Amino acid sequence: MTWIGDNLGLIWEQLREHLYLAIVPVILGLIISVPLGYVATRYSWLANPLIAFGGILYSLPSIALFIVIPAVLGTKVLSTVNIIVALTIYTVSLLIRNVIDGLRSVPPDVRQSAIAVGYGALHRVVAVDLPIAVPVIFTGLRVVTVANISMVSVGAVIGIGGLGELFTLGFQKDFLTPVVVGVVLSLTLALIADLILVSLQRILTPWARVATPVGEVA
Amino acid sequence: MIEFEDVTKRYPDGTVAVDKLSLRIPSNQITVFVGPSGCGKTTSLRMINRTIERTSGTISIDGDDINGRDAVTLRRGIGYVIQNAGLFPHKTVVDNVATVPKLIGWDKRKAHSTAMELLERVGLDVKLAERYPAQLSGGQQQRVGVARALAADPAIMLMDEPFSAVDPIVRHQLQEELLRLQRDIGKTIVFVTHDIDEAIKLGDNVAVLRVGGKLAQFAPPAELLANPADDFVRGFVGQDRGYRALTFVHPEALPVQPLPDELALQDGVPLGWRNGSEELLPVGSVFKRGDSLRAALDAVLTSPTGCGVCVDDDGKAVGVIDQSTVAEALRS
Ligand SMILES: Nc1ncnc2c1ncn2[C@@H]1O[C@H](COP(=O)(O)OP(=O)(O)O)[C@@H](O)[C@H]1O
Ligand SMILES: [Mg+2]
């Protein structure tokens, strides 16, 4: 326990780094997936290959990505950019499917009336299609956020891993406390992030929770 | 006036949905496109707001080719109502209705208050304004759909089978309300249905289309029933067209006979028929002078004595009419 007290500064630092390394890729991934998914619904032949490609990317071992990326991008091995790029790739590969499914979940008659009332193409996506896709997109967002939070730790192997660095520390010194602290904080972080996303979704989609009418009364 | 001139629509797969359609849709009236499923009604309708682009020919509104206008701007000036209303599920009822006013840049308050007025106008409780579409019944959603189409006061409203998915009682109410609304607003309405009864009830003019998107006949309902252009139209308007046609026959003066003693009256209003016992037999349905022949026939058929009672505007009996008189009128 004294270890915790003595290392509060370090723990806090790693926690902040962990959060940063996990969340930035989620945001970047979302920014990339939405237009990509939109393009895939416009040119529907693109959708299935994209989803399949995403599946392949997602199955790549993270450790391999962390090591290959510096070689490809020419970044320093110890740069946070590597982790962020790798996790952004994971985020996009997973989220693309939800964005496409979400945009496809817009009922055809709703899309038809959106066109007929006079929404321009871009305006329609922002004002009609995306809001309706929010529940499906958020399902993916929750999965990917939790996955990212756990995957950041793997980065510790190449020296940047947020709370994962506490694991390395513990293993090196054959000392359990930092490992436990790392696990507990990492789980807590995932739990809180998920709670925040659930609340955000509820705020964004009040219409998705309403009761259906009882019987037909004109 | 909306004018179709030699309009053809060929889909990319080669289907010719509409073939050289030419017709004039008069302003401020209800024109119904009717025909069997797949005959090109929806395609014809949607070419008017350019949600489907024609292959050849011209469509013009008040003389201007619609292809000369920006499609999005054109659509904002044309109301559109479809079968399941197609309301935006993520917007409240009032926001759904305010969609077009907001798109064309009205300020929020004006858009909102106009939307509230329209909800009342189409017979919806304003308490429903803040609900979401999923909380409404099919009939209520359809009313919101009509309100949304009318919100920016367009000159034209397109309606594609708007009442087909609701139960018959609600459908009947919605039809009556559309006619009542149209008396106030006098829009140019193009209404698509596969139901000939609906077409006859609502249309000032009816365009009967046959499969392949060919116009079989364009005429007011009475004309359609009285003089079907060919066997296809005759078959489509149905076997009982003769009886339905009576709705549109207004005999100038059916010769009524004086009131018989058997008819019991109170202050001139018919109470029932005497038949010797204490109780009176029901009068049956009555008709007014100037009513259609169908009303007179109904009166004769529902009267227990075979004599239909004719009343004036105050409901007072002025005479009776018997079967032979109606039969005579039917023959002429
Ligand atoms: N997008 C499309 N691609 C190919 N054929 C179509 C398309 N839409 C409609 N059709 C065909 O065009 C014909 C007319 O369709 P439609 O206008 O929907 O008829 P209706 O509304 O009278 O039922 C039908 O044969 C239909 O199958
Ligand atoms: Mg149709």
Which residue type occupies A165? E
Measured CA to CA in angstroms, residue B251 lies from B48, B254, B297, B332 at distances of 39, 6, 12, 10
Q: Which of A157-161, A174-178, A213-217 has the lowest mean pLDDT?
A: A213-217
Instruction: Kindly tell me the burial class for residue A105, based on how many C-beta atoms sit within 10 Å of its own C-beta (0-12, 13-18, 19 or more).
Output: middle
CB contact under 8 A, A132 and B132: no
CATH of domain B2-248: 3.40.50.300
CA distance A134 to B65: 40
More confident site: A92 or B313: A92
Question: In the numeric block, which tokens belong to residue B210?
Answer: 């046959």
Averaged confidence pLDDT in chain A? 90
Atom from ligand 1 closest to the CA of residue B46: 17
Residue linked to tokens 């789980």: A187
Residue A217 is predicted with a pLDDT of 44
Q: Which of B165, B163, B188 is nearest to B176 (CA)?
A: B163
B91 touches chain A (CB under 8 A): yes
**Cα B156 to middle of ligand 1, angstroms:** 23
CB contact under 8 A, A218 and B139: yes
User: Measuring from atom 3 of ligand 1, which residue has the nearest CA?
Assistant: B11
**Cα A186 to middle of ligand 2, angstroms:** 56
Which residue type occupies B325? T
Three-class DSSP labels, chain A: CHHHHHCHHHHHHHHHHHHHHHHHHHHHHHHHHHHHHHHHHHCHHHHHHHHHHHHHHHHCCHHHHHHHHHHHHCCCCCCHHHHHHHHHHHHHHHHHHHHHHHHHCCCHHHHHHHHHHCCCHHHHHHHHHHHHHHHHHHHHHHHHHHHHHHHHHHHHHHCCCCCHHHHHHHHHCCCHHHHHHHHHHHHHHHHHHHHHHHHHHHHHCHHHHCCCCCCCCC
Pocket perturbation via mutation, ligand 1, pick of B13, B33, B39 by most ligand atoms within 8 A of CB: B39
B2-248 and B263-331 share one fold: no
Question: In the numeric block, which tokens belong to residue A108?
Answer: 């055809």
Atom from ligand 1 closest to the CA of residue B40: 17
CB contact under 8 A, A116 and B51: yes
A109: nearest CB among B82, B138, B166: B82
Q: Does domain B263-331 fall into CATH 3.40.640.10?
A: no
Q: Write down the domain spans for chain B.
A: 2-248, 263-331
CATH of domain A2-206: 1.10.3720.10
Residue A168 is predicted with a pLDDT of 87
ipTM for the predicted complex comes to: 0.86
Q: Which of A147-151, A161-165, B19-23, B108-112 has the lowest mean pLDDT?
A: A161-165
CB contact under 8 A, A115 and B75: yes
**What mean pLDDT comes out for the span A23-27?**
96
Instruction: Kindly tell me the burial class for residue B303, based on how many C-beta atoms sit within 10 Å of its own C-beta (0-12, 13-18, 19 or more).
Output: buried
The ligand minimizing its distance to the Cα of B82 is 2
B251 touches chain A (CB under 8 A): no
* Percent of chain B topping pLDDT 90: 64
What is the DSSP annotation of B203-226?
-SEEEEEETTTEEEEEE-HHHHHH
A218: nearest CB among B131, B140, B148: B140
pLDDT at B301 over 90: no
